């Protein structure tokens, strides 16, 4: 067990990564608390409008759609550590401004929309830079472990944040939650400054003069010529848009279908995050690049469980189904992330990861208003199972294409344990 735990948390032995991960954990707990408080505030200000939830989600992620590719270019040209500090400073100032509006009871619905767009701008710069920076913190051998721990940090915050936020909103209202978010976002700033630049792994980067000529279009051409990178990105663009909107749909499901309070809504998010944490930790021991079949299998499982969540008729059945849904959501996303990062040249990593962030987060502005409209007109459950079925069709289409493209065959074996497997010359 000691050896297993040592392997699972191996990247934490690297001082720079330890600072990075701890700062992110503190900040992300506050961010997830803010997401819950923001959704609850929008429902209060809009008379329980699911469409308003969709609009605020779109405002939050539209900057990702517009700016992320440019951020990837910046990541390949400039010092990622400096870029992270600047983006997190902008985030902290915005979070403080929003918290003051809420605490003083001056906040209006348009304020929430505006700050969501501005915070999304900070995220659009920070996220691809942060994704690409991980390889500089730990180097290639520890990259799969570090990426899995990143997901574990994210989902640990996703467990703690909503649970604490639900209780805090019930006890103190939403104002103190926003204020805590502003304070917690200082942690990454302090830890980025404390990092030792001499211990960063930058040997694989292009020389400075060649980095200066890095172009967005070169990154797009690079991905277009790599079907192994293009397939997971194409799947994520559809699944992320149609199913990964639980921030929106679970709030509507809790408040409009099951008529529960903030604490019960927090339980939905916590159940999803518990499964997600398991999905993240399951990949910490991975050392090789995930196969395409692992990615495809996880996508099918994720879509199947997501569909069942939408069809569930009781509160506790939803809670139970959200655990495996969260597991396969993160397992799919993390396996895709690892397959991309471990298959890309270091010189293109910033631009490729910006494209990954674009399809992972940037599709939300397109999907969120549609999902919100469906939830308001046909019910929150329908908005989930419809997205699940679209995701399942996408995953099965990608599986069919990959089988034909590779000449492989999908088979089913009953003994010694029922399972699907692939016979292929090269996967």
Segment 355-380, tens digit of pLDDT: 887 887 767 667 777 887 888 888 88
- Which residue in 120, 33, 29, 9 sits closest to 68, CA to CA? 120
- Which residue in 334, 336, 339, 3 sits closest to 148, CA to CA? 334
Give the span between the Cα atoms of 192 and 9, in whole angstroms.
20
pTM: 0.72
Query: For the segment 203-254, what is each residue's pLDDT rounded down to a tens digit?
Result: 655 555 555 556 777 778 888 888 889 999 999 989 988 888 787 788 778 7
Cα-atom radius of gyration of the chain, to the nearest Å? Answer: 21
- Which residue in 42, 40, 34, 187 sits closest to 109, CA to CA? 42
- Looking at residue 220, its pLDDT comes to 81
Cβ contacts of 73 within 8 Å, gap of 6 or more: 214, 215, 216, 219, 350, 351, 354
- Which residue in 292, 135, 132, 141 sits closest to 219, CA to CA? 132
- Looking at residue 427, its pLDDT comes to 46
pLDDT < 50 stretches in the chain: 427
Question: CA angle at residue 304 from 314 to 301, to 5 degrees?
Answer: 125
- Looking at residue 412, its pLDDT comes to 67
DSSP reduced 3-state for 37: helix
Give the span between the Cα atoms of 347 and 203, in whole angstroms.
11
- Which residue in 14, 16, 48, 7 sits closest to 257, CA to CA? 48
């Amino acid at each position: 067990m000691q050896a297993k735990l040592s392997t699972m948390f191996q990247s934490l032995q690297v001082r720079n990564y330890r600072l990075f991960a701890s700062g992110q954990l503190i900040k992300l707990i506050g961010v997830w608390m803010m997401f819950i408080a923001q959704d609850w505030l929008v429902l209060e200000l809009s008379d329980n409008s699911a469409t308003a939830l969709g609009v605020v989600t779109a405002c939050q992620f539209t900057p990702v759609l517009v700016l992320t590719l440019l951020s990837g270019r910046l990541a390949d040209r400039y010092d990622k550590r400096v870029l992270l500090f600047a983006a997190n400073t902008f985030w902290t100032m915005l979070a403080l401004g929003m918290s003051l509006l809420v605490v003083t009871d001056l906040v209006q619905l348009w304020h929430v929309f505006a700050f969501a767009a501005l915070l999304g701008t900070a995220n659009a710069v920070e996220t691809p830079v942060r994704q690409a920076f991980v390889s500089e913190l730990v180097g290639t051998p520890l990259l799969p472990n570090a990426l899995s721990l990143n997901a574990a940090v994210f989902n640990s915050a996703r467990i703690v944040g909503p649970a604490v936020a639900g209780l805090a909103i019930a006890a103190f209202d939403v104002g103190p939650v926003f204020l805590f978010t502003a304070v917690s976002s200082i942690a990454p700033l302090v830890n980025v400054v404390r990092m030792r630049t001499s211990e960063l792994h930058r040997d694989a980067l292009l020389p400075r003069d060649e980095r200066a000529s890095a172009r967005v279009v070169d990154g797009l051409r690079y991905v277009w010529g790599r079907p192994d990178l293009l397939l997971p990105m194409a799947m994520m663009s559809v699944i992320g848009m149609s199913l990964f909107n639980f921030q929106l749909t679970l709030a509507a499901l809790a408040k409009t279908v099951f008529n529960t309070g903030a604490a019960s809504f927090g339980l939905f998010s916590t159940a999803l995050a518990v499964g997600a944490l398991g999905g993240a930790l399951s990949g910490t021991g991975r050392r090789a690049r995930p196969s395409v079949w692992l990615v495809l299998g996880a996508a099918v499982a994720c879509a199947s469980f997501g569909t069942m969540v939408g069809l569930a008729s009781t509160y506790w059945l939803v809670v139970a189904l959200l655990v495996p849904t969260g597991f396969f959501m993160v397992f799919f996303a993390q396996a895709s992330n690892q397959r991309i990062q471990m298959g890309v040249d270091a010189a293109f990593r910033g631009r490729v990861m910006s494209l990954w962030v674009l399809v992972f987060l940037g599709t939300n502005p397109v999907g969120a208003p549609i999902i919100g409209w469906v939830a308001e007109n046909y019910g929150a459950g329908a908005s989930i199972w419809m997205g699940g079925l679209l995701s399942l069709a996408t995953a099965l289409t990608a599986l069919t294409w990959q089988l034909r493209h590779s000449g492989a065959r999908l088979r089913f074996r009953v003994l010694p344990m029922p399972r699907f497997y692939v016979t292929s010359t090269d996967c």
